[in-house]
Chains A and B, each alone.
Chain A
Amino acid sequence: MRSLYPETQYATLSQQGETAQLGMWVFIATETLFFGALIFTYFIYRNAYPKEIAEAAKDSVLWCGSVNIGILLTSSLTMVLAIDAAADGRRRSLRNWLRATALLGIAFICIKGFEWFLDYSSREVPSVNFIIKPQEAPAGELFWIFYFVATGLHALHLTIGIGLILYMLWRVRRGDLTPAYYAPLEVVGLYWSFVDTVWIFLYPTIYLVGRS
């Protein structure tokens, strides 16, 4: 087990942990602008070509997106339960909740991969095998470009999140995280739930627009 002394620039472990949290919130603010600007371009396209975008969005695979939002919301729950287990010093629960969170993340990526395969099979991939349908012309392809950029960037973020959780599991095994100091886990939890929040906004943007 590592020493419970703060780094030299901090007076207490509590101050060190709070600073780490605020650092992650700053990063999340930049990510809000990053994904927010991306979704803004979608709103501009949707406003300019409402029928074409809605028509193209009908071909998105609703069940994949719906199962995945359920998976991510559940993973945010398991993540917060892992953090609570760390705060209480329940190491076994901590490991189990972290494993559950990582598995849910992996399940999301697998479903996303299957969905991309379905999209490829129905010739929806711009620059690869895209076929525009008459009712989508001329702007339907814009929706699919947004779809692959947005879901690709989200999947990349989630993959990084899975890696961070596996790293946390390793640190738990090493005895790094104690009830006195578990800020690294809290910071990873903030990142994880933020990535969940991005999907909360991508879900109606991609899967519900064409069906409304």
Chain B
Amino acid sequence: MKAAAKHEPAQLYVAAWLVLILLTGISVLSAFLGIGVYAPAIQYGIAATQAAIVFVLFMRLKGPPSLKWIFAGSGFFWLMILYGLSMTDYASRRGWPS
């Protein structure tokens, strides 16, 4: 009997790589379209999507041990606390920068 594969097929990783490269191309293109404030939103949205692909597939968040999700998520959770509390300071300042 053939042993079950311990990993995803290589084609999936190659497809993910192609999507990552394609997304990079779209990100670069968005910088030259003259769409103003929408461009950074697109670029960081693409960066977050690329990071998700890398984390889930290349860093194998998909698969055991499932506890990895909590460990991986905790970094972002604490980062959001850092961003949130810092923003309450900067957003409530008056006359800054001066």
* Partner-B contacts on A (CB < 8 A): 18, 21-22, 25-26, 28-33, 36-37, 40, 44, 47-49, 62, 66, 69-70, 73-74, 76-77, 79-81, 83-84, 87-88, 179, 186, 189-190, 193-194, 196-197, 200-201, 203-204, 208-209, 211-212
Residues of A within 8 A of B24 (CB): 66, 69-70, 73, 203
Choose among A22, A197, A200, A203 the residue that contacts B71 (Cβ–Cβ < 8 A).
A22
Q: How far is the CB of A59 from chain B (nearest CB, A)?
A: 15
Q: How far is the CA of A203 from the CA of B35 in the complex (A)?
A: 19
Question: Is the beta-carbon distance between B79 and A36 smaller than 8 angstroms?
Answer: yes
A-B Cβ contacts below 8 A, count: 125
Residues of B within 8 A of A49 (CB): 97
Question: Is the beta-carbon distance between B27 and A208 smaller than 8 angstroms?
Answer: yes
Choose among B40, B55, B57, B58 the residue that contacts A212 (Cβ–Cβ < 8 A).
B40
Q: Does B1 contact A (CB under 8 A)?
A: no
Choose among A29, A36, A73, A186 the residue that contacts B17 (Cβ–Cβ < 8 A).
A73
The interface residues of chain A, by DSSP majority, are classed as: helix
- Supposing A22-B68, A33-B79 touch, asked if A201 and B51 sit within 8 A by C-beta, the answer is yes
Q: How far is the CB of B54 from chain A (nearest CB, A)?
A: 5
Residues of B within 8 A of A194 (CB): 59
Choose among A29, A70, A193 the residue that contacts B21 (Cβ–Cβ < 8 A).
A70
Q: How far is the CA of A197 from the CA of B36 in the complex (A)?
A: 25
Residues of B within 8 A of A88 (CB): 6
Question: Is the beta-carbon distance between A26 and B82 smaller than 8 angstroms?
Answer: no
Closest A residue to B16 by CB, please name it: A77
Residues of A within 8 A of B67 (CB): 22
Choose among B13, B30, B72 the residue that contacts A77 (Cβ–Cβ < 8 A).
B13
Residues of B within 8 A of A80 (CB): 13, 57-58, 60
Question: Is the beta-carbon distance between A76 and B96 smaller than 8 angstroms?
Answer: no
Question: Is the beta-carbon distance between B82 and A76 smaller than 8 angstroms?
Answer: no
Q: How far is the CB of B94 from chain A (nearest CB, A)?
A: 13
Q: How far is the CA of A81 from the CA of B39 in the complex (A)?
A: 34
